[in-house]
Amino acid sequence: MRSSRHFVAHYSSNVIAALAFGATIGSAGAQAPYTVVMSGLENPRGLAFAPNGALYVTEAGRGGPPGPHNCGANGAGEFRCYGLTGAVTRLWKGEQSRVVEGMPSHALTDGSTAGGPNGISFQGTAYIALGLGGGPELLEAFGSDFLGTLIHMPASGKWKVVADVAIYEFEENPAGGPLDSNPFGVLAEPGGRLVVDAGANALLNVAANGSIETLAVFPSIRNPTPVGPPQIDAVPTSVARGPDGALYVGQLTGAPFVPGLANIYRVVPGHPPVVHCSGFKTIISLAFGADGSLYVVEHATGGLFFPPNSGQVTRVAPNCARTTVLGGLDRPTSIAIGTDGAIYVTNHGITPGIGEVLKIGP
């Protein structure tokens, strides 16, 4: 399916680079009562409910052992190795079970900060974004036909590629700049599958036949600090459909991850994205509640880069007023809202073997 693999590329900031800074292991704070409902996960990434009420979490895996044909360096200078350790795990009637294994994954040699199965969303059955986090040279180093794609996973678990997001970036480069693809967030709807490519700084629509079109690109930001590059990549990460019918996209930004620079954008196809709410640091997941409130996961808060155990869940009102729901999280990566109003969020999101899903509320 790959139309070409011969490019000369540089790399821009993306979620994979972001996940690599300052990995720590911590515990959640106590602003709201919570329980651990899933544990032992390998770099948990996306969360979504299936139509039958089962909760699914994607696991980016732990990469693979170093070898001459499966390792390479990304734009952040990290040495990463590829393996088939990604997975999908389900919580159903209180029982946790792996339903799919052997999915593509790459990680640092200690298995941390993996890239692989990222966002998941259901339209009948599941659609999953498989991350990359680099350019064509990294894809060639891994020798994978699947990283950087959108896949469809039916109930049988036998998934297949429905769109090659990375090749679209390498050939079309809708936002301009260095070639870099990292499909991260996905929203499956009847009219198409919306994919946030964090590396490409773009929101894409994938039609039923697999064709891709660009819905929005997101601008870089002037770096107000002397640390890092003069311009910081936008790095969109997540997309949700709002009660008003518009799309809302959360932004992580790139290094040095300056507090206050990340935005929530409102996107109406055919129009440029506009800032809806501002003043965040590292948005990595969004979900709307039944009351119209927008729940936001920040991968970290506080100073530059990633202060330990500073991830949090925030409720954002339509007027952008914010209330912290739960802080003290260790690098959370995703959120989902249950039909009963309970909030589910990942914890220890960049660490193999100790990832969790927390349930907040009823």
Domain assignment of residue 2, yes or no:
no
Q: Look at the chain and report how many structural domains it folds into.
A: 1
Determine, yes or no, domain membership for 219. yes
CATH code at 26? 2.120.10.30
Q: For 289-300, what is each residue's pLDDT tens digit?
A: 999 999 999 999
C-alpha 85/C-alpha 87 separation (Å) is 7
Q: Is residue 165 part of a domain?
A: yes
What pLDDT band is residue 14 in, cutting at 50, 70 and 90?
low
The answer to whether residue 126 sits within a structural domain is yes
**Structural domain includes residue 4:** no
Does pLDDT of 5 surpass 60? Answer: no
Q: Which two tokens stand for residue 238?
A: 């997540």
Tell me, yes or no, whether 6 lies in a domain.
Answer: no
As a whole number, the mean pLDDT across the chain is 92
Residue 356 lies in a domain: yes
Assigned domain for 238 exists = yes
Its pTM surpasses 0.95: no
| pLDDT class of 7 with cuts at 50, 70, 90 | very low
Chain centroid to Cα 177, Å, comes to 21
**With bands split at pLDDT 50, 70 and 90, how would you rate the model's confidence at 199?**
very high
The percent of residues above 70 in pLDDT, for the chain, comes to: 91
pLDDT tens, position by position, 73-97: 887 788 999 999 999 999 999 999 9
Q: What domain range includes position 19? A: 15-360
